[in-house]
């Protein structure tokens, strides 16, 4: 019978046999899969596992520092790389969604490759690929493969010439979470909503600026913290704030304002392929809207996205 404990025991033994004394490289994303893969590998080969966690400047507010800190507490051999400026430069002048994905993906590979070369004698690249990723990347005609270029699978530049090790390849998401729980990983990491690789870059519609990143990070933190404190976070499969490239007129005291509109997005789903908009309580939405407008400089209007997938997608870009 499959249990998290038996999976951990046999996988750690297999990894030890397979990897011996080789050096292994792994890119951490802050998400469930790469975190669980890292802890499993760390259990098997200790400091021969070299983790790299890149800050692309498009993560949630305070996420980089917080997640890096919790990785260090887990004892992982991890290097945090602040590459925010490089990503911002690469995105300069770009507003088309697929161009953004390409710029972000390419910059990530450049940064990662540079870091990889600083570690001597690496033989393996470890990835947190899970069973549904394997299936999805095979079905090239699947909607997510053709509509958007997801870059979680196959992001390996071939000049790196590393062998690939994927210890979670046979698991479904809920099994990964159970393994993570048994490994003692922070529930905050294990229960995290899915978050796209390009991050807030595809939630700032149109051109990305430092100021827009600040606005979105603050609004997003209010929404996500609100979901957590009202017990709604777990009811929702994924939640996001989108910064629209639209300004509208408002009034603050005696003053006319002309500021940005943000959209709140929350959906229920099982795999992201289809999704229904979440029927969040009106009182909750009212409070989040008030908080955002009162606390986030640059926003004077909040709307709620009531579109389901299909025909809308979860992200707006
Ligand atoms: P859509 O917007 O296609 O999103 O309904 C479905 C799921 O995929 C995530 N998503 C991405 N993940 N890179 C990623 O790693 C991407 O470019 C990307 N685009 C969308 C989205 O957040 C949702 O969970």
Residues 292-308: tens digit of each pLDDT: 999 999 999 999 999 99
Identify which of 143, 137, 141 has the alpha carbon closest to the alpha carbon of residue 169.
Answer: 137
Q: Which residues' Cβ are closer than 6 Å to ligand 1?
A: 101, 144, 148, 150-152, 194, 196-198, 238, 272, 309, 313-315
Can you tell me the mean pLDDT for 202-226?
98
The residue whose CA has the least distance to atom 17 of ligand 1 is 150
The three-state (H, E, C) secondary structure of the chain, written as one string: CCCHHHHHHHHHHHHHHHHCCCEEEEEECCCHHHHHHHHHHHHHHHHHEEEEEEECCCCCCCHHHHHHHHHHHCCCCEEEEECHHHHHHHHCCCCCHHHHHHHHHHHHHHHHHHHHHCCCCEEEEECCCCHHHHHHHHCCCCHHHHHCCCCCCCCCCHHHCCEEECCCCCCCHHHHHHHHHHCCCCHHHHCCCCCCCCHHHHCECCCCCHHHHHHHHHHHHHHHHHHHHCCCHHHCCEEEEEEEEEEEEEEECCEEEEEEEEEEEEEECCCCCCEEECCCCHHHHHHHHHHHHHHCCCEEEEEECCCCECCCCCCCC
Residue whose structure tokens are 């009182």: 283
Q: Output the CA 191–ligand 1 centroid distance in Å.
A: 17
* CATH (domain of 234): 3.30.300.10
Question: Alpha-carbon distance 294 to 132, whole Å?
Answer: 41
Regarding whether 271 and 137 lie in a shared domain, the answer is: no
* Residue 235: inside a domain: yes
Minimal-distance CA residue to ligand 1 atom 21: 196
Beta strands at 255-268 and 238-252: parallel, antiparallel or unpaired: antiparallel
Q: Pick from 287, 184, 182, 191: which is nearest to 233 by CA? A: 191
- Enter the pTM of the model: 0.91
**Shared domain check, 207 and 154:** no
Backbone angles phi, psi at 140, to 5 degrees: -60, -20
Split at pLDDT 50, 70, 90, the class of 189 is very high
Asked whether residue 135 is assigned to any structural domain, the reply reads yes
The domain containing residue 103 runs over which residues? 4-190
More confident residue, 204 or 144: 204
- Maximum Cα interatomic distance, the chain, rounded to a whole number of Å: 72
Tell me: ipTM over 0.85: yes
- pLDDT tens digit sequence for 49-98: 999 999 999 999 999 999 999 999 999 999 999 999 999 999 999 999 99
| 317 Cα to the center of ligand 1, angstroms | 9
Atom of ligand 1 nearest to the CA of 147: 3
Q: Which of 159, 190, 221 is the last residue of a domain?
A: 190
Nearest alpha carbon to residue 208 among 93, 77, 69: 93
Q: 198 and 100 in contact (C-beta within 8 Å)? A: yes
pLDDT tens by residue, 123-176: 999 999 999 888 866 544 333 433 344 444 455 565 467 899 999 999 999 999
Residues 207, 169 share a domain: no
* 33 is known to lie in a ligand binding site: yes
207 and 237 part of one domain: yes
Kindly state whether residue 317 falls inside one of the protein's structural domains.
Answer: no
Domain count, the chain: 2
- Do 123 and 16 lie in one domain? The reply is yes
Residues 121 and 226 grouped into a single domain: no
């Amino acid at each position: 019978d499959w249990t998290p404990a038996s999976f951990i025991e046999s996988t750690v033994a297999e990894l030890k046999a397979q990897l011996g004394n080789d050096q292994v490289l792994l890119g951490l994303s802050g998400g469930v899969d790469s975190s669980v893969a890292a802890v499993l590998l760390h259990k098997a080969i200790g400091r021969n596992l070299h983790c790299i966690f890149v800050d692309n400047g498009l993560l949630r507010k305070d996420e980089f520092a917080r997640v890096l800190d919790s990785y260090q507490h887990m004892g992982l051999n991890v290097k945090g790389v602040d590459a925010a400026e490089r990503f911002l430069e690469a995105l300069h002048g770009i507003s088309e969604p697929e161009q953004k994905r390409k710029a972000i993906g390419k910059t990530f590979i450049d940064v990662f490759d540079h870091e990889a070369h600083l570690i001597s004698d690496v033989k393996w690249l470890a990835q947190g690929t899970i069973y549904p990723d394997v299936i999805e990347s095979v079905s090239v005609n699947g909607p997510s493969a053709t509509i958007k270029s997801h870059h979680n699978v196959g992001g390996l530049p071939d000049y790196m010439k590393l062998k690939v090790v994927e210890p979670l390849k046979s698991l479904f998401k809920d099994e990964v979470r159970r393994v993570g729980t048994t490994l003692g990983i922070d529930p905050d990491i294990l229960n995290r909503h899915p978050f796209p690789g390009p991050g807030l870059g595809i939630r700032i519609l149109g051109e990305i600026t430092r100021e827009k990143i600040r606005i979105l990070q603050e609004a997003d933190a209010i929404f996500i913290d609100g979901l957590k404190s009202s017990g709604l976070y777990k009811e929702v499969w994924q939640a996001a704030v989108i910064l629209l490239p639209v300004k509208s007129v408002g009034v603050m005291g005696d003053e006319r304002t002309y500021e940005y509109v943000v959209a709140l997005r929350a959906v229920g789903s099982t795999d992201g392929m289809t999704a229904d908009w979440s029927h969040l309580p009106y009182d909750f939405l009212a409070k989040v809207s008030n908080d955002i407008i009162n606390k986030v400089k640059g926003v004077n209007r909040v709307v709620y996205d009531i579109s389901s997938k299909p025909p809308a997608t979860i992200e707006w870009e």
